[in-house]
A and B are shown apart, each in its own frame.
Chain A
Amino acid sequence: MTTESTASHSHSSPDDGEVVSHIASTRRHVIVLLGLLMFTALTVGAYNINLGDWNLAAAVIISTCKSALVVWFFMELKDDVAFNRVIFLGAVIFMGLFMAYTMNDTRYRNIVDAYNGGRIDPRTGELANGTAAGIVAQGGELGPLPTLPAGEADGEPAQE
């Protein structure tokens, strides 16, 4: 390393060091806004026609499109340096990871009980309600758990 006299020293930007911003046209902003409103209408429309299992998927996909519009145009990631895109994408990926791994637990708890004979509810001496084996033993399928009837709702807290 040497120390040389450098009154002005070079950084990665080759220009005179002034900020160069891309100023987008008002027209583009209006178009994006209209797109966003259109997507909103679409989500509400999808809500009013029954899509069954696809309801959640439709909601998430449309929301993702809307966010992409906001991020790409309004937040100008379009013209931004690559690293800022990496940060944003990275954050989204880590969110997904958090969700996926956690639900990999919560969706599949006690599955192995089905092979190992399940768990006994000490209060009743029968197969415990919440475990997979318990549900199968009661003739139910694995999947969304049954809901309690109204009367018991405010009584003893129980598994749904």
Chain B
Amino acid sequence: MSTDAHGNSKFLQHHYDTPAQQFGAAKLGMWLFLAQELLFFSGLFVAYGVYRSWYPDAWVVGSHLLDYRMGTANTCVLLLSSFTAVMAVRSAQTGNQKATGNFLLATIFLAGCFMVVKYFEYHHKFEVGYLPGQHFAPHGEGLVEIVAAARETGVNGVPFHLRTFFGLYFVMTGIHGLHVLVGMFVMGWMWNRNRKGEFSKRYSTPVEMTALYWHLVDIIWIFLFPLLYLID
């Protein structure tokens, strides 16, 4: 990276004195942003906790209506994408532009896979009427599945509050999915900047920040997965 007459690198913004200061600020800012994200999701987890404790039967049955194999697959996909994200950072830090680009693409691809699986899951739920709250109206196959799940879990009857379970299921996975989409978009942007050669051994901050965000999205899913799909 070339430097200007000031003796500073191009990437150094004028109000900072040193790259280390700029990097420290960026990282601190990012962690604050992530803290903010956690508290944003906390509302959903609190609602989950309250209603799970009130309506345990609906939660057990609801969980059995989700396909845990798809959930497992998606978990593995997201973990793998966290790995490729961290490799993209490593490549950027070691100045390997090509590998950075490829790892970013791999991460985007895996995120895409996650969304495709989600699409199929949602699609099925819409078909059989497992809709949130007021629109919850299982029919046909949907009813059969509920009865089977209830029998399997020893619950007697169709729990009224399955609608609450699916309400929260859609809100939680929906907002998480939105975060995945945003992540894909930002990684595409990073890929483009990398292609233009904006990153180097000395400056890879944006890639690092993007990866931090991506890991957080992964962490949210790490909790969502057993809480939604794996209730006994």
Report which A residues bind B (CB closer than 8 A): 8-9, 11, 13, 15-21, 23-24, 26, 29-30, 32-33, 36-37, 40, 43-44, 46-47, 50-52, 55-56, 59-60, 62-63, 66-67, 70-71, 74-75, 80-81, 83-84, 87-88, 90-92, 94-95, 98-99, 102-103, 106-107, 144-145, 147-154, 157-158, 160
Contacts and interface: CB of A to CB of B under 8 A. Distances in A.
Interface stretch (B85-93, B118-126, B178-186, B191-199): B85-93
Interface of B: 17-21, 23-24, 27-28, 31-32, 34-36, 38-39, 42-43, 45-46, 49-50, 53-58, 68, 72, 75-76, 79-80, 82-83, 85-87, 90, 93-94, 155-161, 202-205, 208, 211-212, 215-216, 218-219, 222-223, 225-227, 230-232
Contacts of A151: 157
B39 A95 contact: yes
Given A23-B94, A44-B230, A81-B24, A153 B159 contact: yes
Given A18-B202, A150-B158, A157-B160, A106 B53 contact: yes
B94 A67 contact: no
B49 A67 contact: no
A99 B232 contact: no
A75 B35 contact: no
Contact of B35 (A52, A91, A98): A91
Contacts of A94: 39, 42
Contact of B79 (A9, A21, A33): A33
B42 A99 contact: yes
A23 B90 contact: yes
Contacts of B23: 19
Contact of A99 (B49, B82, B202): B49
6 contacts: A44-B230, A91-B35, A94-B42, A103-B46, A157-B160, A160-B55
A98 B46 contact: yes
Given A47-B68, A147-B155, A29 B79 contact: no
Given A13-B18, A26-B90, A44-B72, A153 B160 contact: yes
A23 B92 CA distance: 10
A18 B16 CA distance: 12
Given A87-B31, A95-B39, A153 B157 contact: yes
Given A11-B21, A17-B19, A160-B58, A40 B79 contact: yes
A57 B84 CA distance: 30
A91 B45 contact: no
Given A9-B17, A18-B18, A74-B82, A87 B32 contact: yes
A102 B54 CA distance: 13
A157 to B, nearest CB: 7
A91 B83 contact: no
B222 A70 contact: yes
A99 to B, nearest CB: 5
A35 to B, nearest CB: 10
A66 B205 CA distance: 25
A75 B211 CA distance: 8
Given A40-B72, A43-B230, A160-B161, A67 B18 contact: no
